[in-house]
Amino acid sequence: MKRIAIDMDEVIADLFTSQLTMFNNDYKENISPEDIMGKKLRHHRPDLTEELSNYLKQPTFFRDLEVIEDSQEVIKELSKHYEIFITTAAMEYPTSFTEKYEWLKKHFPFLNDMNFVFCGDKSIIHADYLIDDNVRHFKGFSGQGVLYTANHNINEIGYDRVNNWQEVKDYFSKRVK
């Protein structure tokens, strides 16, 4: 059975919307996703990089993220034909391990928690495919990278790209043997 490694943040968990909402509320701004298309919020407001990073260190930030639409249903369907691993670069925020684990158990109870991988460098992942929003994780990865569209990566080219979970379903349904 082929393996699909799936990133968590901005692929199945909506980190961006939560961070942007918190920022707009805290700083009385009205920044929309379109205002920062092609970059991260910290690039739009470099003077507040530390403050933005601190959101991700809050005790319940990762636990309270919304699930990205259709990800649960599509991953459940894919798990009938592929071995699924959730691979999250949790080393960037080591205090997030428990929150991320609990979030995955709550929203993806059908997945084997032995297939949750908390790592830093995803080149160690041995899978046929990696669905990720960050192209840096494709460097050194031996399988096929699949770029999941996120606000910050809209200008990236040269990768297989999926814009939503229905496109993920279509992408992999063509590869089932």
Buried b (16+ CB within 10 A) or exposed e, 138-155: beebebebbbbbbbbbee
Residue corresponding to tokens 């089932």: 176
Active-site residue, 70 included? no
The catalytically annotated residue of 7, 14, 132, 133 is 7
Question: In the structure, how many helices (H) and strands (E) does the chain have?
Answer: 6, 6
Give the distance, in angstroms, between the CA of residue 52 and the centroid of all CA atoms in the same chain. 18
From residue 23, give the alpha-carbon distance in Å to each of 38, 100, 103, 109.
Answer: 18, 21, 22, 31
From residue 54, give the alpha-carbon distance in Å to each of 42, 111, 117, 168.
Answer: 12, 30, 23, 32
Active-site residue, 14 included? no
From residue 124, give the alpha-carbon distance in Å to each of 31, 44, 86, 88, 129.
Answer: 37, 32, 13, 12, 13
Q: Which residues are catalytic?
A: 7, 9
